[in-house]
Amino acid sequence: MFRLDERLMVYLHRAPVDFRLNINGLATLVQQALGLDPFAACVYVFSNRRRNRVKILGWDLNGFWLLLKRLEEDRFIWPAETAAPTLTVEQLHWLLEGIDIGVVQRHPQRVYQHVG
Tens-level pLDDT at each residue, the chain (116 residues): 567 788 889 999 988 999 999 999 999 999 998 899 999 989 999 999 999 999 999 998 899 999 999 999 999 988 877 655 888 898 888 888 888 887 777 778 888 887 76
Q: Is 59 left (phi over 0), alpha (psi -120 to 50) or beta?
A: beta
Cβ neighbors of 108 (< 8 A, separation 6 or more) are: none
The pLDDT score that the predictor gives to residue 82 is 61
The pLDDT score that the predictor gives to residue 21 is 94
d(CA 30, CA 45): 10
Cβ neighbors of 51 (< 8 A, separation 6 or more) are: 16, 75, 76, 77, 78
d(CA 31, CA 50): 24
Decide: pTM greater than 0.85: no
